[in-house]
Amino acid sequence: MNALIFTSGSYRLGVHGPGADIDTLCVGPMHVTRNEDFFGELHRILVEMPDVQELNSVPDAYVPVMRFKLDGIPIDLLYASLPLPNIPEDLDISQDSIIHNVDEQTVRILNGRRVTDEILNLVPNIQNFRTALRCLRLWAKRRGIYSNVAGFLGGVNWAILVARICQLYPNALPCTLVSRVFRVYNLWQWPNPVILCPIQEGSSNVWDPRRNRKDREHLMPIITPAYPCMNSSYNVSNSTLRIMMEEFRRGNEICEAIEANKAVWVTLFEPFAFFEAYKDYLQIDIKAQSGDDFRNWKGWVESRLRFLNSMIERYTGGILQCHPYPGDFSNECRPHCCSYFMGLRRKQGSSPEGGKQFDIRWIVDKFKHQVCQYSAWKATMWINVCHVRRKNIPVFVFSGGIRPSQRAKVAAQDCLGKRLPGNNFLHADDAGSRKRRKQVVVNRGVHLEEFSSLTSGTSTASLQIEAGEEEQSEAVIADTIRNKNYRKNMTNHDQEPEGSVKCRSPSCSNPKGASPVEKWVTDSSSGEIVGLSDMKTEVSGGTVESNSFQLSMTEPGVQIPVVGAGGRNSCSKSLQNEGLEELELLPPSSIASASTSKASQKPLISFNFTSSKKAVGPSA
C-alpha cells in the first residue's frame, strides 16, 4: 500500500506566512477508505503521537478534514481515495480523468490542489501575482473581511480575484495590480461571475445558472478554474457583500489619493476598529467541558453563525443590518469557552417609521435550536446569545485587556474613513505627522517591508501604466468590464416564489443564569438600537405571519451568451468605455494555453463575465 502527499492553498501558491496552516492532501488507493481508515485508524495513530496536538476530525463537513498541530505547525489534512489498486509515484492530479468514478466529496477534496495549480498556470507573471496577493491578504485580514466561514472571502477567493487582475494587466507591477483590484471590483456589478478561463461543460456539478436554480441565488460568484468549475464564494450573504463593497470603495479612494501623492500606503492597511464602529452588538458565547468537545463544538457553531446573520436581515427586511466579526475571543479566566460578536445597525438612509420594533428573540431561539441539532452534541455543550452595548463590551476582546481611551477612539474613527482620502490626515507633508505615523505602525506591528516591491523604483508610489499599453484594448475593456445584459437576461427563466415560511419558536434550554436575548427597537429620534423589556412581540402562537418572514427572493435565471471560438457577443460592440482606463490583456491563446488540450474534449461556454457600473463622483 502506498499514498502520496500534496500541498494546496496558500502554501502551494507561495503566499503563506508565519502561523498559517498548511493545507495538505493525501491520495490513497481504493481499499483505504475515508471513514474507517482515515478518520478511524489514522486518527487513533495520531492521538498516540506526542508531537501531535489539538487533533480535531470533522468527517461530516462539506469538505471532510482532519486538523491538528504537528510540532506546533497547524495542518489541515484531507484524504481522497482513488479507484486505483496502487498510487503511481508520478500521479498527475491535474488531469481531468483523475476525478472520474469518484464521489462528490472526493472531487471537492482533489480540486483544492487542482485549482491552485490552475491559477498559477493562468497568471502571466507568478512573482507579481504573489506579491500583490500577499498585499491583498494582509489588507483583507486587517480590515476584517478574510474569512470564508463567516461569509466573507477566503484564500482561494482572493487568489482568483487577484489572478483576474493579473490577466487584465499582464505587464503591471504589484503596486499597480493592488490599485486596480480596488478600482475594478469597486465598480463590479455582482452577480456577474469572475472567471479565469472558459467554463467546460460535462457535469451536473459545473456552475451553470442557466440549469441549476441554486446557482442563480449566488450573490458574488467567483468561479474556480479547474474542472468541474464551481463557485468558491457560495457563503457570501447580502450583509457581507455590502461590507466588502464598502471596503473596496475605501481602498479605491485611498489608492487614488496615493496616485495624487496625498496618501501613503500605510493608510490602506489601517485595522478596522470593529468595536468602535457600532453602538450595539450580539454576543454569542459557547462553552464545553473538555478540550476535544470544545474544538468540535466551536467548529460547528462557527459554521452556523452566518445563518443567524441571514435570518435577522431577512426578518427585518434588511433594515437591521449585521456585521459578523471573522474570529473569536477567549477569556483566559474561563477555559474551553469563547465568544463571537456581530455588530448591529439600522440601514443607512432608512426612516425610523415611528420607532418600528424588531423582536428577534424567536430568531435567536430558532438559531440555537438548529445549532443544538449537532450530531455529536452533548449536554455539556452550551451556547448563549445576548445583547451588549458598546460601552459594555468585555475587556478581554481588547489588546492587553485594556479598553481603548477616547483619544484612541478618535484616531480609529479617522481610520474608518470618517475623513476621506486627500484630507489632512492623509498628507505626508508634515515631518511630525510622518514620525507619529511611523510610531503607530511600529506599535501596531504592521510590517510592510516584505511589500517594499510595491513602491520600489518610484519615489511617489506612482500607479500609472505606460501610455503605449493604454492604447491597445479599448474594445477589450468594453467586453470585459461591463455586461449590462446579465441582469436583464435573468428574466428569461421562470422562477416560482418560495412563498412565506411559518416558523415555530423552538426551545433550546439555556444554562442556569443565562439571560435571553433582549428585544430590539429603533429609537425614532436617534436611530439607535436599544433594548426593551416590554416590547410587543410580532410572533403569536409560535408562528410567524406569512408577511413577517419570507425566504429571500432571488432573481430568475441568468441567460449567458454562448460565444464561438474567437468570437464576441454582438451586444458587446455597443458598450462604451465609460471613464475607465484601457486595459491590456494577454491574447486568449496565451492566457488559456494550459487548457487548450482540454478544450477539444469538452464543449466550452464563453462568458462576458467581467462587468462594472459607471463610476460616480470622485472615483470616476
> Residue 333 in 3-state DSSP?
coil
23 annotated as a binding-site residue? yes
Q: How many CB atoms lie within 10 A of CB 569?
A: 17
Rounded Cα distance between 152 and 140, Å, is 10
The answer to the question of whether 76 is labelled as a binding residue is yes
Determine if the peptide bond prior to 191 is cis (ω within 30°).
Answer: yes
CA dihedral (287, 290, 292, 293) in degrees, to 10, reads -50
14-173-421 Cα angle (round to 5)? 105
236-260 residues labelled b (16+ CB within 10 A) or e (exposed): bbbbbbbbbeebbbbbbbbbbbbbe
CA dihedral 537, 538, 542, 546 (to 10 degrees): -170
Phi then psi for 340, rounded to 5 degrees? -115, 155
Give CA–CA dist 314/554, Å, rounded: 13
Q: Which residue has the cell 483544492?
A: 112
Residue 22 assigned to a binding site: yes
Nearest by Cα to 36 from 84, 99, 79 = 79
| CA–CA–CA angle 59, 157, 344 (5° rounding) | 85
Does 21 appear as a known binding residue?
yes
User: Using CA of residue 300, residue 306, residue 308, residue 311, what is the dihedral sign?
Assistant: negative
Cα(361)–Cα(308) distance, integer angstroms: 12
Identify the helix (H) or strand (E) that includes residue 162: helix 155-168
156 carries a ligand binding annotation: yes
Binding residues for ATP: 21-23, 76, 146, 155-156
Tell me the binding residues: 21-23, 76, 146, 155-156
- Binding residues for Mg(2+), by number, are 21, 23, 76
